[in-house]
Amino acid sequence: MAKKGMSQKKIIGIALLVVGVILIGWGFNEAGSFGGKLSSAISGSPGDRVLWFYIAGGICSVVGLFNIFK
């Protein structure tokens, strides 16, 4: 018996992928802001907030892709 349309798991995967991409983009935006540049200039590395955006975005994207293609 074939299922019609997309399964709920794939819809959640697409949503997670979109959220992940948005978080990564937000991290890039935060890194380019005045506060991000100042933090990077002082410490030599991106701020904690930027790293958390990258980590959360990467995890959401990977889980989303896994749900889409599994």
Q: Please write down the HEC assignment for all residues of the chain.
A: CCCCCCCHHHHHHHHHHHHHHHHHHHHHHHHHCHHHHHHHHHHCCCCHHHHHHHHHHHHHHHHHHHHHHC
What pLDDT was estimated at residue 3? 61
What pLDDT was estimated at residue 1? 46
What is the band of 4 on the pLDDT scale with cuts at 50, 70, 90?
A: low
Tens digit of pLDDT for each residue in 33-67?
Answer: 877 777 777 877 777 888 999 999 999 999 999 99
Q: Where are the domains of the chain?
A: 8-69
